[in-house]
């Protein structure tokens, strides 16, 4: 692989522009409970979001997949991946999510981007105090 690259001719210039071609959108969210110190397992967290989607859009409306790419049990923060066509539904369901097993909670959406890479560089997290 390395030697093959070195023998190739230098690449000619080429440019491609993709508009709205990102298949997925990515969300960085955190779940906040009224009572502090609550922990939740990853599977229950995903099930909570699925039931929020079902409550809002019904079985058919909520029948689209999303991934919990990463979940931190201690801080209850997660990174979700959803098809771009499902972003509005997922985001609205998260906004209206109000309780888990009769305990009040809310979801704070920290960042949304069509690029997962952009989630790793959020300048709004820069704290210099």
Partner 1 sequence: MHPELQQSPRNILVFEKSNFMNEKSRHDLHVLKHYFNYKVSVFIPECGILPSELNDAISRFTKYYLVKDLPVHELLEEECLEKTVKKGRFYALSYNRRIDQDDVVAILPTGQMILSVNKDTYEQLGLEGKESQYTHKQPMRYVVTVDLTDKSMLPGSKRYNRVLWALKEKVPVKMDFLLARHSTEANEGGMLPSCLSQYHCRELQASISTQKLSSLPYPVLCSCDIRGEGYCEPHQFLEWLGAVTMEIDCNNDATSFMSTYSCPEQHNTLSQALLCSITGLLLPEDIQSLLEKLRSYFEQPKLTSWLSLVVHGFADSPVSWGMEEHGFHKGGENFYGFVVFGNQDYWLHMGTGANDGCPP
Q: Is 35 in the site for partner 1 (CB under 8 A)?
A: no
Nearer to partner 1, 5 or 36 (CB): 5
Stretch that binds partner 1, among 32-40, 93-101, 117-125 (CB under 8 A): 117-125
Would you say 103 and 40 are in contact if contact means Cβ atoms under 8 Å apart?
no
74 binds partner 1 (CB under 8 A): no
Cβ contacts of residue 39 below 8 Å, gap of 6+?
73, 74, 76
Closest C-alpha to 82, from 122, 44, 28, 125: 28
Out of 40, 46, 54, 95, the only residue in the binding site for partner 1 (CB under 8 A) is 46
- One of 35, 65, 74, 101 touching partner 1 (CB under 8 A): 65
Range in contact with partner 1 (rule: CB under 8 A) among 2-10, 29-37, 93-101: 2-10
72 is a site residue for partner 1 (CB under 8 A): no
Quick one: which of 34, 73, 84, 99 contacts partner 1 (CB under 8 A)? 84
**3-class secondary-structure state, position 127:** coil
Task: Give the range of 8-16, 30-38, 93-101 binding partner 1 by CB under 8 A.
Answer: 8-16
Q: Which residues partner with 37 through β-bridges?
A: none
Closest by CA position to 120, among listed 91, 88, 79, 76: 79
Residues binding partner 1: number (CB under 8 A): 56
């Amino acid at each position: 692989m390395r030697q093959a690259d070195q023998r190739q001719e230098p690449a000619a210039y080429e440019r491609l522009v993709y508009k709205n071609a990102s298949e997925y959108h990515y969300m960085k969210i955190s779940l906040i409970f009224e009572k502090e110190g609550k922990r939740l397992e990853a599977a229950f967290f995903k099930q909570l979001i699925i039931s929020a989607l079902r409550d809002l859009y019904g079985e058919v409306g909520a029948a689209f997949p999303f991934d919990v790419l990463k979940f931190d049990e201690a801080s209850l923060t997660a990174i979700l991946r959803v098809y771009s066509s499902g972003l509005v539904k997922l985001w609205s369901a998260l906004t209206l999510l109000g309780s888990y097993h009769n305990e009040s909670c809310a979801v704070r959406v920290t960042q949304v981007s069509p690029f997962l890479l952009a989630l790793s560089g959020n300048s709004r997290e820069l704290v210099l105090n």
